[in-house]
Amino acid sequence: MVPLAPEGSVDWWRRVVDVGVLQDIIDRFACSQSFAAILTTLNGESVTAPSNFSEFCKRVRAIPEGRDRCWKSDARGGKMALDSGDVKIYRCHCGLIDMAVPISLADGRVIGILLMGQVHLSSYDRDDVLEMARFHWDFLPEEEMDEFVDLFLRIPVVDEEEIHRSASLLKLVASHIVNLCERYITEKSFWERGMVRMRKMVDRELLEKSLKAAQLRSLQRQLNPHFIFNTLNVIYRLAMLEGATQTRDLTLKFSEYLRYVLGKQRRSNLVSLSE
Amino acid sequence: MVPLAPEGSVDWWRRVVDVGVLQDIIDRFACSQSFAAILTTLNGESVTAPSNFSEFCKRVRAIPEGRDRCWKSDARGGKMALDSGDVKIYRCHCGLIDMAVPISLADGRVIGILLMGQVHLSSYDRDDVLEMARFHWDFLPEEEMDEFVDLFLRIPVVDEEEIHRSASLLKLVASHIVNLCERYITEKSFWERGMVRMRKMVDRELLEKSLKAAQLRSLQRQLNPHFIFNTLNVIYRLAMLEGATQTRDLTLKFSEYLRYVLGKQRRSNLVSLSE
């Protein structure tokens, strides 16, 4: 069995969870509730592809300095969620509302962060945005500022309570799914190890049984009854010819004893073969 | 191991799925999207408790004839979903919009129906509702008609595409969860049966090994070397006393042969014990 990657790595997620289904669920959630979302590891590596990212954010992330600040915002949000173990709402470097949702295993260990949001909680007018842009969007080329302001104004306004509800529902769904998958993988590897152990035990017992059987056969063959009784018979007759009557009688008695013992052995063998 | 109830029965659902978590997910979905929902078996038995049922529907279901008609509407919707294998939208006997969502296993077998809706797709005015009530709500006491019309008018209006999206998202989530659970339960019982079979094999091999070992010990004990060599020694001396030299020499040779055979056996025993 291939060993599992450390919990919560991209590799671990891919091995444990059907990331395609998870992607589908997050995509649909995000689209139906008009927010963006992405599932990442604790190190910020993407587990799913971005769902429903806003045009504004896509454009910001296309600029190196912008992407850098986005990552820093995401990391800050992820850290807050990780520290508190609960959903955290925060404002990104551009002024949008984001949420960091910790996804944890049944034992409480956080194994991923769902970053979602890219929304407004209230509507802006153009002047407010221009004002904010002058202070915070300094990484943007001056000539594109107007275009970015337009994109910013097109971002949907959502109800704070509603997006909180979506976050906790998505947290529940994703955590339940990952927990079911993790339980399956963990127990599967437990069962597989158990089977290997059992298989080894069966093999060992089989081997030891054959060994005992071989020893038994070997002893029985070497104590070839025909040869023994023939020899004792020759001794008996020789003693008779040489007039040694006591020797003859004792040899007969001894032969009868051996015939009894070996005969019993053969009878008990017959019983064991019929089993 | 307790045998599984037939797939899709209430008992099966309770054993396979964490119904509490499923209830929580459906509750939150229903509340956040302003629809009612309940998961039932193919026979219409409830798996989850009603989520976010409208006051109107609760009141209708409190009247025996009303409840009967609700069940018939539900059954009709469920059957349509079962036949087509897909989400079906229909109008209940009171004029509300309902949806039947089939929940299936990975192999396509439908194992439950999610009934959801109790919504309007467009708003009504009071006169339209009164008109409809006169034709279709004949099971209601005349004096309560006004109150029911008010409750009917308070039911939320939802966008058709939106509720369709919610239905297919909930279908995806519920199906994925039940499939993960079913895979776990099925494989668990597979592994458990495998372990029992292995355990039996180990026990049988252990038993057969002990049997062979016992036969070997018994043969070795009965062919007590001391007794045999003492007896042969007595025969040898007796033959000498009686002047039977040929008998004496043959007895000595025979004794040496047996000593060689039994000695080899004992040496090979020593090897096997050290294993």
> Which pLDDT belongs to residue A5?
61
Considering the domain boundaries, does residue A216 fall inside one? no
Tell me: do B19 and B142 sit in the same domain.
yes
* Nearest to B51, CA basis, from B120, B148, B116: B116
Query: B39 by DSSP, 3-state: which?
Result: strand
What residues of chain B score a pLDDT lower than 50? 1-2, 270-275
* pLDDT (0 to 100) of residue B273: 37
CA distance B23 to B29: 10
Min distance B68 CA to chain A CA atoms (Å): 34
pLDDT at site A56? 96
ipTM associated with this complex? 0.78
Q: What is the pLDDT of residue B198?
A: 87
Q: Does residue A5 sit within a domain?
A: no
In a domain, A210, yes or no: no
* Percent of chain A at pLDDT exceeding 70: 93
Query: Taking each helix axis from N to C terminus, what angle separates B19-33 and A160-222, rounded to the nearest 10 degrees?
Result: 160
Give the rounded distance of the alpha carbon of B91 from its chain centre: 35
Same domain, residue pair A157 and A107 = yes
For residues B78 and B175, membership in a common domain is answered with: yes
The two structure tokens encoding residue B250: 């043959």
Same domain for A186 and A88?
A: yes
Look at residue B114 and give its three-state secondary structure.
strand
Residue B157 lies in a domain: yes
Tell me the pLDDT tens digit for each residue of A30-87.
998 899 999 999 999 999 999 999 999 999 999 999 999 999 999 999 999 999 989 9
Same domain? For B153 and B241 the reply is no
| Facing A231 at nearest CB: one of B29, B254, B272 | B254
CB spacing of A244 vs B246 below 8 angstroms: no
Q: Are B126 and B154 in contact (CB under 8 A)?
A: no
Low-confidence ranges of chain A (pLDDT < 50): 1-2, 270-275
User: In chain A, how many domains are there?
Assistant: 2
Chain A CB within 8 Å of residue B266 CB: no
Residues A116 and A177 in one domain: yes
Q: Which 27-66 residues of chain A touch chain B by CB within 8 A?
A: 28-29, 31-32
Which B residues, 204 through 233, put their C-beta within 8 Å of a C-beta on chain A?
205-206, 208-209, 211-213, 215-216, 218-220, 222-223, 228, 231-232
Average pLDDT taken over every residue of chain A: 88
- The dihedral built from the CA positions of residue A172, A175, A181 and A186, taken in this order, carries a sign that is negative
Residue A8: what pLDDT? 86
> Both B76 and B119 in a single domain?
yes
Q: Are both B182 and B229 inside the same structural domain?
A: no
Q: Are strands A36-40 and A88-91 parallel, antiparallel or unpaired?
A: unpaired
In a domain, B3, yes or no: no
Q: Which domain range does residue A239 map to? A: 223-275
**Does A21 reach chain B within 8 Å, measured CB to CB?**
yes
Residues A145 and A20 reside in one and the same domain? yes
Chain B nearest-CA residue for A254: B231
What Cα–Cα distance (Å) separates residue B74 from each residue in A28, A191, B19, B44, B79? 27, 43, 21, 8, 8
Query: Is the residue at A130 inside a domain?
Result: yes
Do the chains contact at B261 and A216, CB–CB below 8 Å? no
Instruction: Say what the pLDDT of residue A220 is.
Output: 74
Separation of alpha carbons A96 and A155, rounded Å: 9
Q: Clarify whether residues A146 and A236 are in a common domain.
A: no
User: Does residue A235 share a domain with residue A125?
Assistant: no
Residue A4 lies in a domain: no
Are B179 and B235 found together in one domain? no
Q: Are A103 and A163 within 8 A, CB to CB?
A: no
Does a structural domain hold residue B111?
yes
Check CB contact under 8 Å for B265 and A222.
Answer: yes
Look at residue B219 in the predicted model and tell me its pLDDT: 76
CA distance B224 to A261: 10
B191 inside 8 A of chain A by CB: yes
Is the CB of B231 less than 8 angstroms away from the CB of A238?
A: no
Q: Which of A191, A212, A242 lies at the terminal end of a domain, its last residue?
A: A191
